[in-house]
Structure 1
Amino acid sequence: MRLTCLNAWGGRMHAELADWLAQNDPDVLCIQEVVHVPNTPAPWLDYRDDGRNLPQRADMLADLAEALPGHDITFCPAARGPLWHEQTQVWSHWGLATCTRRGLPVTHQAQGFVHGEFGAEGFGPHPRSRTGHALRLWRPEGAVVIAHMHGLRDPEAGKADTPARAAQAERLAGLVESIRQPGDEAIICGDFNVLPGSETLRILSRLAPRELVTEGGHPGTRNSLYPKPGRYADYMMVSETLAFTSFDVLHHPEVSDHCPLLLTLP
């Protein structure tokens, strides 16, 4: 079974990402920064904030369905906010999604907010609302709970520990514990927006003690499209006894300003 985790950067590398996903064809895809605009007036819209004008792929759910036609998609919106088509404001939904190969037996799911609540009238100030999603997947080798979140962005604190980040880690752990059964393995991943050694990782290590990015000696999870220092953001945490055949942080091809995390189970 192949699991891929990626912050999609709002779909800014759409063509590269779509081609790569079709080739990678993971059994489970945990993907953050997903944009969905029902009845979008254009395939690309602009996100305008803090003097930035960032292109966003307007209906990434449709893009994911096209790239992975054999998968079911669970979309977990965190907020409803404005994008722009030239001078026209367009309301969008923003959050994360989990794509699961159709036919895999998902016996339980838990979805909820790890920070804040659904912002229906705009994205709001940072740190903004965040969702988490966990699913329990039955396998003959033993069931596994897979969970992911997109951690808080905090312009003032950077990637440092904060009470809000500790609280969101506890809430994500709570989603895992709400569906995990005795004997289940656990995988917790995502763009946590923190550095190695953070309190977030310490809290989640109660459920998934092995962190594979740093354990494997990978120098970071950001690629050449990310110009800032601090190369760590994304993590893959697993149970101590989880059997896996490979793990990698993929720097090429570049399909986002984050590197995909690839985990293969027997």
Structure 2
Amino acid sequence: MRIVSLNAWGGRLHEPLMPYLVNVEADVLCLQEMVRTQGADADWLVYRDHGIELLQRANLFEELKAALPAYDAFFLPVARGDLFEGDRRFDSEFGLATFVRRTYPIIGQAAGFVHGEFSADGYGPHPRSRNAHCIRLFDYERGYPITIAHMHGLRDLEGKGDTPARRHQANALVDLIRQVKHEGDRLVVCGDFNLLPGSETFDILSSLGLADLVTSRGYEDTRTSHYKKQPRFADYMLVTSNVEVITFDPVAEPEVSDHRALLLDLK
């Protein structure tokens, strides 16, 4: 089974992003910063926030859904806010997406907010709401279930250090996973956590028997050349000890976002 986690950056690198996601042959795609804008007739819209303007692919989720017809597709928005084409304003949803190859039946799932709640009238003040999605699949070929969860961790303008909100977020993620995971399941948890490696979040997740593959294997960079700041940790992939890892790679090339894709092959 192949699992890929990626902060898609709103599709800003759409030209390399789409063929990568289509051709990577993932069985499960865990995607953060996905966009869906119903009623938009333009391919690109602009996100505006305190003088900053960022291009967003207007219907990234729907485009990827059409490009991956052999997958079940789930979109889980955290908020509906404004995107613009010039002076025209569009209501646009922003959040997580999960794609699962249909050869792996979904036998359990849960989604919920790990910080804040859904906002229907704007993206809201920082730190903005965040959610997580947890699925339980059955692997027919190998004869066992596996639980997979991903989240987009909250962004705090003060930095990536531990805060009470991040502690709550970690505990909420554990609670969500426990709704789905059965005793003895293989478990994979991934996403853009917006955290530093020493965060207490990892101690909290260790209550599920999880250990991080990024730091434990000596990787020091989960960002691409499109990200100019330090530190360069953001994305993580954690597994329980019964997950047999064949390959794990924070993918350096191609660059499809300001985040690297995390690619896991497991037995």
Cα distance in 2 for partners of 1:153, 1:123 equals 13
TM-score normalised by the chain length of structure 2: 0.97
> Per-residue deviation at 1:105?
1.4
1:64 aligns with 2:64: yes
> Per-residue deviation at 1:178?
0.5
Q: Which residue of 2 aligns with 1:152?
A: 154
Q: Which residue of 1 aligns with 2:229?
A: 228
Other structure's SS at 1:245 match: strand
Other structure's SS at 1:263 match: strand
Amino acid of the structure 2 residue aligned with 1:240: S
Where in structure 2 are the equivalents of 1:126-145 lying within 5 Å? 126-139=126-139, 140-145=142-147
Please list the CA deviations of residues 9-48 of structure 1 after superposition, one character each: whole Å capped at 9, or x if unmatched: 0100111000111210210000000010012121100000
User: Identity of counterpart residues, as a percentage?
Assistant: 51
1:37 aligns with 2:37: yes
Q: Which residue of 1 aligns with 2:100?
A: 100
Amino acid of the structure 1 residue aligned with 2:15: A
Q: How many residues align?
A: 265
Cα distance in 2 for partners of 1:208, 1:15 equals 38
Q: Which residue of 2 aligns with 1:84?
A: 84
Amino acid of the structure 1 residue aligned with 2:247: S
1:114 aligns with 2:114: yes
- Once structures 1 and 2 are overlaid, which stretch shifts more, 35-44 or 201-210? 201-210
Cα distance in 1 for partners of 2:183, 2:246 equals 23
Cα distance in 2 for partners of 1:115, 1:208 equals 23
Other structure's SS at 1:206 match: helix
Cα distance in 2 for partners of 1:86, 1:99 equals 32
Amino acid of the structure 1 residue aligned with 2:74: T
Other structure's SS at 1:202 match: helix
Contact 1:208 1:237 in 2 (8 A): no
Cα distance in 2 for partners of 1:71, 1:247 equals 23
> Per-residue deviation at 1:141?
4.3
Amino acid of the structure 2 residue aligned with 1:225: H
Cα distance in 2 for partners of 1:248, 1:6 equals 12
Contact 1:159 1:194 in 2 (8 A): yes
Contact 1:11 1:56 in 2 (8 A): yes
Contact 1:187 1:208 in 2 (8 A): no
Cα distance in 2 for partners of 1:33, 1:51 equals 20
Contact 1:135 1:179 in 2 (8 A): yes
Q: Which residue of 2 aligns with 1:48?
A: 48
TM-score normalised by the chain length of structure 1: 0.97
